[in-house]
Structure 1
């Protein structure tokens, strides 16, 4: 019966044997771990027969020898209890591949995010440049007559007063064209119309570019805009004429055939006066 009981009892494992010897010496896991320069977790796995978690068989055997040497027990007898050990090489390899794949995925996400930020910066720069270019192109420069100046050619003092477009209104004389006799009668009466206050004439010769605005005696604006150098402008209408000139010193003026002197007006400033001149 005793022999049968001995056969039925399970054989003591390596971990159980090591733990039993350690407890007999009264040494704790923490004390033994400090003496062997190992972690408590490694010793627990060794005593729990979790050899596959400790690495290759060479490492496990080294842990066992150090364990036995510290407790002064026969290491050879303990090594005989070590089962056939399967090294977790495949598992380590899979873990390494998994970590590398995860690292590559993180790098790819970081690279995509960097590209997105770079694209946003470039897109914003292009949009800003395009918007500024459109603003420069879309600046209104409206001209009615080919001899008018653009607003950029006007001096700073005149830019405030001179709008971009120009309109010249000249009243047309009702001259009948039904017969040659009537046309001859109209042509033969220039002196009479010149003396008529309702048909007074102002002639301006522009030696340089200048801005001008003229209102007749009825308050109608009959000239307005920028005139280029060499332009001769003639306007007629009821007097008095209210005149505003940008560069009066570069404009020769005659009213009803008489030269008008504008030298007493300040240079580089708008000249405002009425024709005929009032003292």
Structure 2
């Protein structure tokens, strides 16, 4: 009895065998069926050999079987019920691709943030450069004038005291030189061969003369070689300034293109300096 029960069960055809039997009964070749299903002959053979794991995901396999049954005009419901359940889960593949996509999106997000930061730095630097170049010269020099106002008053007081001391020294020299001139005038005419020598200050030989003609209002600041400020402040248009001191001179001009400068009678060329910017240079200019 057991052998009679198990023998029919072992002879039950599989899903692939059922499809193959229906195809052969319909007198349809393997190649023709593959053409109708838009599959390869190998894929149809795997379907009839129950090799479903080689055909792709279960969803695709079910679609192939439905189309197969439709071509043979048979009901696909009982045949699909015979399809075995997939032995391996298919979701981990999707989860892996999703995790990769998430990681890629995170990398893209970090790259975009870095790009935004770099763009903000570039825009900020450009705005700062534009603001510095567009600011008028008067505004650039206003802070310098405020800082030098107190110093200028002190230097004016010192200059006045130096002038008073110089006048006093000249008066003392004249008082000393007067008796000597009287003694020389009292000598006989035969002693007229006596020579008198006067020494000129060495500083006069080392000094240089700067002449500045201001065609427009401009701020100026000049130091001599000893670090003494000999000129500063805003000069009006048409003003001509003559300075004498020991070279080299450190010069700062607000509108250098509006000032004509000569040093010891020679014209100074300032065309190499950018316009609408403070010009800082030394006289004589370095070659």
TM-score of the superposition, structure 1-length normalised?
Answer: 0.40
TM-score of the superposition, structure 2-length normalised?
Answer: 0.39
Structure with the largest fraction of helix: 2
